[in-house]
Structure 1
Amino acid sequence: MTTSEKLSFWYCNNCNRTLNHGEFRYNCTTCDDYDYCERCAKTVDPPHPHRMVPELAYGRAEKKKCRIKDMMTIIQTAIDKYWDRYCMGIRDVDKENPAIYMDSYSWFTFKNIGDRSKNFGHGLRRLIEPRGYLGICAENRPEWMITDFACIFQSIISVPIYTLFNKNEIAYVINNTQVSVIVCDKQLLPKFIDIHEQCSSLQHIQLQKNRGSQFTI
């Protein structure tokens, strides 16, 4: 998100300055509606007694008309309207101990999500035609929604597959929906390799590759 001259809905409770759209505000996790600007959060003495976490301050969004009420148009309108706001994020982990989660997040803006969805959708069209069935089987992460949005943009029908299904249950879903493409994460890949011979319609398995703490398609 880019800082602009447009004012946001928040102000700093220490210096009383109204924060700009795209600027970080440090929000108290205990006090109700209590924020510092970034400068005050780092310099005020004594510091605020409660833990404060950085969040984005944003102002009023530009109005966008949305006449056609189909899902693709609604998603595209949201991307155009909120392009520089945070849309989805991944909670950061400690670099030395990945089992420990941090207070910070790595965020994707609406534009990031829109661009990745469209690009992935163009790639999917090399594997599957519109109105074809694509299965999604992965843990909760932005890539799950990116895949679903990509299907919507390309008129592909997405079939969610529960990650805790056993091999027989997964094969049943694939065979009864005639899924031809599966998008899955690394942990679930062995299941689909084992059952692909039981599923005559399944032609492609698209892996979400692990790069560090994030999964990308």
Structure 2
Amino acid sequence: MDTPHAGDAALGAAPPVPDEPLTARLHERLARAAYAAGLLDVAYRTLDTPVGTLLLAATEQGVVRVAFESQDHDGALQQLADKVSPRVLKAPERLDDVSRQLDEYFAGARHHFDVPLDWQLSSGFRRSALTRLPDIGYGRTASYAEVATAVGSPRAVRAVGTACATNPLPLVVPCHRVVRSDGSIGQYAGGADAKRYLLDMESAA
């Protein structure tokens, strides 16, 4: 009878479980090395919030993307790789400031955001409309028609709706404060429940 080798027993054994803290440290070292070498064009992280997990991404110029789970985080990362740079890496430190400000916002301690923005995912009329949205104060709303008028194109109501629907920086650029003329909340990239939550949270402050 053949005598089994000691190593044979290991053939059916489960693979070793990675040391998660070690993996995280190695990833952090990689991110820092990539940044130091100028190889990190887009950093990203996720943030848990009352309206779900957000994907946050930034270039050296500023925050470039905020995406809800319903917008498909993998798809958002692919968009960044296609339109900004393929050098995309999870590097939370670059997003520390906006993450802190979002936490403060959801805690009711912040009414506007003060972070640099990178607008390269928006252009033309859409960008012009979106840059007007921070003028809508915390706890207030404006209609799509009012925003169109503010941009100087009062008949471009649908175009304002499209700008809001494709806003690459929701929350930080508050498209949730834009509603229909009849007072109904309208559409929202994060979903109607998220939009209602944000409006109710702000109006209660």
Asked if Structure 1 and Structure 2 have the same fold, meaning a TM-score greater than 0.5 normalized by the shorter chain, the answer is no
More helix as a share of residues: 2
Structure having the higher strand fraction is: 1
Structure possessing the higher relative contact order (Cα contacts under 8 Å, 6 or more residues apart):
2
TM-score normalized by the length of structure 1? 0.29
Q: TM-score, normalised by structure 2?
A: 0.30
